[in-house]
Structure 1
């Protein structure tokens, strides 16, 4: 991963990002933090106090796996069976047959993250390709487009 640009967020920009994070995912971060943006490849990664917290793809903010674990985000949670784990940690999209449970409030295009059914640890962050009810009931097709996964460049920024 090549960092093309790096800059600090102004207080006004940081406040807006923190409000977006709170509104979208229910995450409260203290206001006295330092924000930084890394522009890499085809996305931006936002660091809060040096930790990769958010990334932006196609003008949409997504929490990183670090953020999901640190702040116990529950919105958009999808549970996958253990057979899917080995594919997901390599960056594969989530297929509907591997889904055990899903948040029924998920709509197509929403931010979602997948956890394994045994350890309940987040594996990927992605964009829903179908709604939550369909994910749970479908036996075919891609359910989630993976954007960030354990072991990728964003994960390794820490």
Structure 2
């Protein structure tokens, strides 16, 4: 297991991150109950994971602040959803982008550049988060529709799972 760099950030910096996250994902208020707190940060090099009371809640990757994938379904975060068929799941879980032909259903709110969650059709569980490359009416067309930035089984997910379970 690799050694992760972990440190606390100031209450002021934490408050700014929490406020930013709450404005995008209001349902996080059921999880993050105190805005005046000092978040812990796990530095993974290509991403930062923010821990609230030891629980991974947010990821900053490529200047995007997104929820950690493990909390999305658990806390019912209202992130626009794209449902993919089971044939697409294994590719997405290996880091592939979402291609139009694998999309079964699309949230009509989606605009190009939005953070979206990718859900496996049969299980209705979030398997990835990404950036929409198209508006909702064009997502099912041939070509890339969503750029995958965080998925179950990726380095962020594995590192945090190892780190959290090894700390206990």
Query: 1:39: which partner in 2?
Result: 43
TM-score relative to the length of structure 1: 0.88
Q: Structure 2 stretches of 5 or more lacking a match?
A: 162-168
Query: 1:6: which partner in 2?
Result: 6
Query: 2:147: which partner in 1?
Result: 145
The alignment yields a C-alpha RMSD, in angstroms, of 1.9
Choose 53-62 or 26-35, whichever is displaced more. 26-35
Q: How many residues were matched structurally? A: 156
Query: 1:30: which partner in 2?
Result: 33
Maintained 8 Å contact 2:58/2:66 = yes
Return the alpha-carbon distance in structure 2 between the equivalents of residues 25 and 61 of structure 1: 10
Maintained 8 Å contact 2:98/2:144 = yes
Which aligned runs of 4 or more in structure 1 are off by greater than 4 angstroms?
1-4
Alignment of 1:2-151 (within 5 A): 5-26=5-26, 27-28=28-29, 29-31=32-34, 35-136=39-140, 138=141, 140-151=142-153
Maintained 8 Å contact 1:3/1:38 = no
Maintained 8 Å contact 1:111/1:128 = yes
TM-score relative to the length of structure 2: 0.83
